[in-house]
Amino acid sequence: MLLNYSTGHWLVGDRVFYTKPMAVEYASRTNEQIHFDFHNSFYDSVDWSEEPEQSLQEIYRARAEQLLSTYDYVVLLLSGGSDSTNMVKTFLNGGLRPDEVVSHGVLNKVVNETSTTNIEITASASKTAKLCQDAGIPYRFINLWDSIKNVKYDENFFETADTRMCIDNLMRIEGLHNDPHLLNVAKNGKKVCIVIGLEKPRVFINDGYFTTAFLDTVVMQNHWARDIKDNRGIYLERFYITPKMPEITIKQCHTIVNHFEKNIPNYKQQLVHTDKFDFQAYYNVCNNILYPDTWQSKNYFSLGKTNSGIFCQKYNFVGELMPDFDMFKQYQGVIKNFYRSVDKKYIRSNGDISGNYGNFYKIKKLNANESAK
C-alpha cells in the first residue's frame, strides 16, 4: 500500500528513521548497518525489463494529468534546471494548467539577481516563466530572505533535515511550506501540492546487467520529515521518481540504455559502477535524450550538479559574505556538533553524508537483446 506521500526511510536494526542524519547518528552509536528503503517492496514487484510502449512525452503528460486530478491546487517549482523546465513545459505544451509556477531564491543587500544563488532563475527560469505568463498561468518569485527571521537552527534541525543538511533546508521550509498564500489556500479546504522536478535515474553496469537503483542523497534531497507529521495541507511530490507512476523511471532507464548502446562506443567504461563515475557528463547526455523537445543546453544556463550537498554553491554566500550573521553561527554550531557525534566513515571528504542505495533493479542483460528476468 502506498502512503499519501512519496517519501522513503532508513532502517538501522529495528529502528526506522525518516531523516538520514538521525539514522547516521544512531548507527554511529550502535554500529549497526544503515539500509535505505525507497518503496523497495513496490519496486521489487515491477518488471524493469519491460519498456513501456508510450513515448516519454506521453508518460510525462500522464503524470501531469495525474497530479491535476489528485490535488485541488498544483504549484510547479521552477528552478531553471533541465528537470523542472521539462516539467513545466510538459504542462504548457499539453495545454494543462497548474494553478501557479513558483521560483525561489534570495535577494538582500549582498545577493542580487545575477549572484550565483539566483543566476539560474535570472538566466533560465525567467524564459520559461514568460511562457507561463503568456499562457495566463500565474508565476511568482518567493524571496526566502523575507522570512529569514523565522529560521532558527538548533539540534531539532536533524529531525527534519534532508540528506544534504545544507543551510537552505529550513530557509526553504519557511519560505515555501509556510508561504502565506499557500497556507491560506489550504486553510480554505483545498489540497495543495508543490511539485519538484526530481530526478533522472542513474543507470550503471553491475554484474553483467544494465542496472538502476535509488540513491538516498539524490531522491531524498528537498524532502523534509516534518511534512510527514504535519504538512498543514501542503503536500510535496516529485514529478519523475514516484511509485505513483513508475513508468516514467522505467522508460527513462530504457531510453538511456538504448542511447548508450547505439551511440557511445565505450559505454561499458562510462557506466561502470565506481566512485570515479563522471556524473556531470552522464547527466548532460541524459538531458539531451530525456528532454529532447524542451531542453537545449545552448539555450539555457545551468550551474550543473553541485560537487557538495552541504556546501551548495548557491548558498555559500551566507558563510562567505555574512559570517557574523546569527543564523549562520547557529547552523555552523549544530553541524560541527553533528560531525563530532558521528563515525567518520559516514562522512565523505567533501563534508557530505555518504550515500546509501536502495535495492538494485536489472534492466537489461549486457551484450544481449533479451531482457533481464
- pLDDT for 2 beyond 50: no
Mean pLDDT of 10-39: 96
Q: pTM above the 0.85 mark?
A: yes
pLDDT in tens, 26-41: 999 999 999 999 999 9
pLDDT in tens, 184-193: 999 999 999 9
Nearest to 124 by CA among 295, 317, 314: 295
Nearest to 306 by CA among 180, 101, 117: 117
pLDDT in tens, 239-292: 999 999 999 999 999 999 999 999 998 898 889 877 777 888 899 899 999 999
Q: What whole-number percentage of the chain has pLDDT above 90? A: 67
What are the grid coordinates assigned to 304, written together? 550543473
Nearest to 268 by CA among 355, 203, 360, 359: 203
Per-position DSSP letters for 338-370, written without gaps between them: HHHHS-GGGB-TTSPBPP-EEEEEEEEETT-SS
What are the grid coordinates assigned to 320, written together? 562567505
For residue 173, name the pLDDT band (cuts at 50, 70, 90): confident
What are the grid coordinates assigned to 63, written together? 503524470
CA distance 127 to 141: 13
Contact criterion met (CB below 8 Å) for 92 and 135: yes
Q: What ranges do the domains of the chain cover? A: 9-350
